[in-house]
Structure 1
Amino acid sequence: MSESSEKHREIARARGPVRVAIVTVSDTRTPETDTNYHYLRPEIEALGHQVVGYRIIKDEPDLVDMALEEMVQLGAQVILFNGGTGIAPRDTTYDVLVRKIEKPMPGFGELFRMLSYQEVGAAAMLSRAIAGTYRRRVVISTPGSPNAVQVAWTRLIKPELEHLAWEVAR
């Protein structure tokens, strides 16, 4: 680990809790059956951070756009979308977010697909997981499968959460 990255992490940790929003994109999940939310919320709160917004929306472009804007208005520093990243005609989350993202972070999608490949093989190429910045927020979009959300959280997002929030706001 580089010395400058570790220094940035220390500064970021000292800034206090990160405000996180969760958006589940699904035509079938409800607040009771949203396993991704029930996984992420306690994970985020256990680190001392705050979940400031939560929505379940259908995979409709207008709803994805409105959810993003709502989470920005709620003051989220990091917005976690899950679902709608595949290549089926119904999967539109990626298409909306890629048009909104101001500074793409291609490394997130590349690393996520690499990690997914280790678990699901060549099917990992079907994922359109992405991340980037929008209005000085970090937007991350992963597939909706519980395993995908857990891999993204534990291996990529959780270790860099404070750092991401600090970098985009400085």
Structure 2
Amino acid sequence: MASSTEQHKQIAGQQGPVPVAIVTVSDTRTPDSDENATYLREQIEAAGHTVAGYRLIKDEADLVAGVLDELVEGPARIILFNGGTGISPRDRTYDALSRKLEKTLPGFGELFRMFSYDQVGAAAMLSRATAGVYRNTVVISTPGSPAAVRLAWEKLIAPELTHLAWEVIR
């Protein structure tokens, strides 16, 4: 007999493609140099899902909050933020998102830092990667380094994407 998690994943998988939005938070990247968005778009589409939006914004709390409010009004069921999760004065993504999240998924950040430790050692503690739910939309925020985006996608997001999207609307 299948576990409830396996049953949930089976049901979720029958819901069709998941619309996912990508937000890169960076003071230096341009659409042409945004390799994280290129990577995520390729992975989302290869997994049979759709890219429901893309934004590239500066690391300003009001811009982060504004784009979140904008994207939750559209078709995206999952919004992937990358960038602005560190502890430097310019890193504001975590602060802006954490004020908005209605439910948090602490396990995402915990697991991300655990996996990151294998790549960067104790520096993993500097990451404020987070996830949660805002207006029935899953919001995931990772560091902006390409290695971090790949790690989060491969180890955490891709394996649970359909399950996450289904859980918030079931």
Does TM, scored on the shorter chain, surpass 0.5?
yes
SS of 1:69's equivalent in the other structure is helix
**Residue 38 of structure 2 aligns with which residue?**
38
The number of residue pairs the alignment matches comes to 169
- The answer for the alignment partner of 2:50 in structure 1 is 50
Deviation at 1:41, TM superposition (A): 0.3
Corresponding position: 1:127 with 2:141: no
1:43 & 1:75 partners in 2: Cα distance?
19
CA displacement 1:101-149 (0-9 Å, x = unmatched): 0010000000000000011000000000000000000000000000000
Q: Which residue of 2 aligns with 1:17?
A: 17
Q: Distance in 2 between matches of 1:28 and 1:67?
A: 18
Indicate yes or no: 2:52 matched with 1:66: no
Q: Does 1:104 align with 2:100?
A: no
Cα distance between partner residues in 2 of 1:118 and 1:44: 25
Which residue of the partner structure matches residue 81 of structure 2?
A: 81
Q: TM-score, normalised by structure 1?
A: 0.98
How high is the sequence identity, in percent, across the aligned residues? 68
CA displacement at 1:59 relative to structure 2: 0.3
Deviation at 1:75, TM superposition (A): 1.6
Q: CA deviation at 1:45?
A: 0.5
Q: Which whole-Å deviations, capped at 9, do the CAs of 1:31-66 have from their partners, x for residues lacking one?
A: 100000010001000111010110000000110011
Paired letter, 2:157: I
Q: CA deviation at 1:15?
A: 0.5
Stretch of structure 1 that moved more, 68-77 or 148-157? 68-77
1:156 aligns with 2:156: yes
CA distance in 2, matches of 1:12, 1:102: 22
SS state at 1:100 partner: coil
Structure 1 gap segments, 5+ residues each: none
**Aligned partners of 2:71, 2:34: CA distance in 1, in Å?**
18
Question: 2:90 maps to what in 1?
Answer: 90
Partner of 1:167: 167
Q: Provide the residue aligned with 2:117 in structure 1.
A: 117
Say which is worse superposed, 57-66 or 68-77, in terms of deviation.
Answer: 68-77
Q: Which runs of 4+ in 1 moved over 4 A?
A: none
Question: What amino acid is the match of 1:109?
Answer: G
C-alpha displacement of 1:163? 0.1
